């Protein structure tokens, strides 16, 4: 260990997240002055197999305050890690795992462990003066991800999905381009075209800069109408065959375990598993879908395996896998999905998350980084460093500028895999 990369201090505070509720922010400083800052926030679709977060409860901040987590970092985690070498990520993460001693990070809090672990990673990279993506992936970290751009969130447009929150969400994915720069331009083009299509066909003018909340009931009777308008937007933008559709179904949010029915997903009507699977088969035949995420309940490995075998598109497990190596291994064993969504704070630490990535790659699964839990622009460095080939969104959001910087820095070494960045 060099003195420079030794951890000098670890602190934390309650920060404000883009989701509109508190996040825990950890700050790690090494002896040579390198700083790593990382945030972790609660998600919209939270799988029951994820690690347990520490929240304050009570009336303030809707119970989502993290002052208890801040105290956990300052009073328990920090004293145990100060003096350790920030570049020894695995040793640091294992120290926290041993201190916690529970299967779901219930003692230290998954959000506390994840925030400190990610901050250590960033501090280590800064301490050796390497960009984060290169620190993660070495000299071969030069693959730029295929980006997407959010289009529509939530089920209110057809008056369904009382338990669905903002799900399902839809995005456009710009895969048929020669560079990330051009793909990002494609994202902009299709979003502009989509705005015009919605204005002309549905009289909708409530488009935010990054997404559309359609909160008037009755605008659509079924999302099949929306799929048609998204396809129209792709064609109008001049990108037919170069841009596809992604949907995060988060089907578990709609699943009623007592009746075995999916209530209010894609339309008001209740649906059986067979109904949903038939709908997916039709959707990929009729529309340019390239990615389906969590198309069935989070414990339905068998159903996910059937869809993976039949549909010929990328099937992503988020709530299905929760970045958990044991659940990913089970998916591999039965052939469920062909891609794992990467959310570090679902499993708790950088080491565990990256071990999951290695497991996925060894078994032919793709990995799709997602910044919905507070990673922000850092997700760009994760995507390039891990050579994932694609990511959740990234075409016109906080990560985009960082990706453009990385592509410019890499110059002729930058590679854009396009459709090959997906599975199958």
Positions annotated as catalytic residues are: 217, 343
DSSP string, 267-326: BSS-B-HHHHHHHHHHHHHHS-EEEEES-S-TT-HHHHHHHHHHH-SEEEESTTTTT-HH
35: buried, middle or exposed (CB in 10 Å: 19+, 13-18, 0-12)? middle
Tokens linked to 130: 């390497």
Phi-psi label, residue 287: left if phi above 0, alpha if psi -120 to 50, beta otherwise: beta
Tokens linked to 42: 């609660």
DSSP string, 113-134: HHHHHHHHHHHHHHHTT--HHH
Give the Cα separation of 67 and 74 in Å (integer): 11
188: buried, middle or exposed (CB in 10 Å: 19+, 13-18, 0-12)? middle
Give the Cα separation of 157 and 155 in Å (integer): 6
| Dihedral over Cα of 125, 130, 131, 133: its sign | negative
| Dihedral over Cα of 132, 138, 142, 143: its sign | negative
Please choose, from the candidates 12, 161, 20, the residue with its C-alpha nearest in 3D space to the C-alpha of residue 75.
Answer: 12
């Amino acid at each position: 260990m060099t003195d420079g990369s030794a951890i000098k201090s670890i602190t934390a505070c309650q920060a404000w997240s883009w989701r509109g509720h508190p996040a825990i922010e950890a700050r790690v400083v090494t002896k040579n002055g390198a700083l790593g800052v990382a945030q972790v926030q609660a998600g919209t679709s939270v799988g029951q197999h994820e690690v347990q977060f520490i929240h304050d409860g009570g009336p303030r901040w809707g119970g989502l305050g993290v002052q208890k987590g801040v105290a956990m970092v300052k009073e328990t985690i920090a004293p145990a890690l100060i003096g350790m070498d920030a570049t020894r990520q695995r040793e640091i993460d294992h120290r926290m795992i041993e201190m916690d001693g529970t299967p779901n990070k219930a003692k230290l809090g998954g959000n506390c462990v994840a925030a400190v672990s990610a901050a250590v990673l960033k501090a280590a990279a800064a301490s050796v003066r390497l960009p984060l993506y290169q620190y993660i992936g070495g000299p071969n970290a030069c693959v730029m991800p295929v980006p997407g751009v959010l289009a529509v969130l939530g089920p209110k447009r057809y008056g369904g999905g009382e338990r669905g929150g903002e799900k399902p969400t839809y995005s456009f994915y710009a895969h048929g381009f020669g560079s990330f720069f051009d793909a990002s331009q494609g994202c902009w083009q299709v979003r502009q075209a989509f705005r015009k299509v919605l204005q002309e066909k549905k009289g909708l003018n409530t488009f935010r800069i990054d997404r559309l909340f359609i909160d008037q009931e009755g605008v659509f009777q079924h999302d099949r109408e929306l799929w048609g308008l998204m396809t129209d937007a792709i064609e109008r933008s001049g990108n037919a065959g170069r841009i596809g559709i992604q949907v995060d179904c988060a089907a578990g949010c709609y699943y009623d375990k007592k009746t075995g029915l999916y209530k209010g997903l894609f339309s008001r009507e209740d649906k059986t598993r067979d109904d949903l699977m038939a709908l997916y088969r039709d959707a990929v035949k009729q529309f340019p879908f390239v990615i389906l995420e969590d198309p069935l309940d989070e414990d339905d490995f068998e159903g996910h395996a059937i869809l993976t075998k039949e549909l010929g598109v990328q099937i992503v497990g988020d709530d299905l896998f929760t970045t958990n190596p044991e659940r990913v291994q089970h998916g591999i064993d039965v052939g469920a999905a062909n891609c794992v969504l990467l959310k570090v704070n679902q499993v708790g630490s950088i080491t565990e998350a990256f071990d999951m990535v290695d497991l996925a790659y060894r078994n032919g699964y793709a990995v799709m980084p997602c910044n919905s839990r507070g990673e922000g622009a850092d997700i760009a460095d994760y995507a390039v460093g891990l050579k994932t080939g694609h990511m959740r969104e990234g075409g016109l959001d906080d990560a985009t500028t960082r990706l453009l910087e990385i592509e410019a820095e890499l110059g002729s070494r930058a590679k854009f895999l396009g459709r090959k960045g997906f599975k199958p």
